[in-house]
């Protein structure tokens, strides 16, 4: 039987890759989606995960008109996103990001997620946090795509 456990160094590399991929989408696509799966460190503001999202996760719209503030950090992504008319502060661990895809789905990247981690207290990623600003908007819709349905 093959061991599917990642080493701390592999986890560090995966997080760095996800952060770089996120930056690439942010800089080049302008508007895209991330599919976030449930994770112990995922924080979805006061909203939390609702209904089927607790099992399948949630698809979040990311872009200048969908975000009020966004910052790429060492082990997570901080964002303020609008759900209906209410803004929520989200802390999204890189380990919980399952898919990243652009609006027209010309590009789709499916990634490994990690829920149970070894002690990572002494592991650091070399990138410094990057702050990204987004425009403030009053009316924005967040589109959710249900990946749990099978055709």
Tell me which CATH code domain 8-133 carries. 2.30.30.220
Sequence ranges of the domains in the chain = 8-133
Both structure tokens of 128: 């410094």
Cβ–Cβ under 8 Å, residues 94 and 85 = no
pLDDT digits (tens, 9 = 90+) for 131-146: 444 433 334 445 555 5
- Residues 23-77 have pLDDT tens digits of 999 888 878 999 999 999 999 999 999 999 999 999 999 988 889 899 988 899 9
Q: What is the pTM of this model?
A: 0.72
121: left (phi over 0), alpha (psi -120 to 50) or beta: alpha
């Amino acid at each position: 039987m093959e061991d599917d456990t990642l080493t701390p160094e592999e986890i560090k590399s995966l997080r760095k890759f996800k952060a770089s991929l996120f930056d690439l989408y942010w800089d080049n696509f302008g508007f895209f989606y991330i599919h976030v799966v449930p994770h112990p460190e995922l924080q979805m503001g006061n909203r939390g995960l609702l209904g089927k999202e607790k099992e399948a996760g949630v698809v979040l719209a990311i872009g200048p008109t969908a975000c009020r503030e966004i910052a790429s950090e060492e082990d997570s992504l901080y964002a303020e996103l609008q759900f209906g008319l209410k803004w929520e502060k989200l802390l999204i661990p890189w380990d919980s990001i399952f898919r990243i895809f652009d609006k027209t789905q010309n590009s789709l990247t499916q990634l490994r997620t990690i829920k149970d981690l070894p002690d990572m207290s002494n592991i650091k990623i070399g990138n410094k946090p990057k702050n990204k600003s987004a425009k403030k908007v009053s009316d924005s819709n967040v589109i959710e795509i249900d990946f749990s349905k099978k055709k």
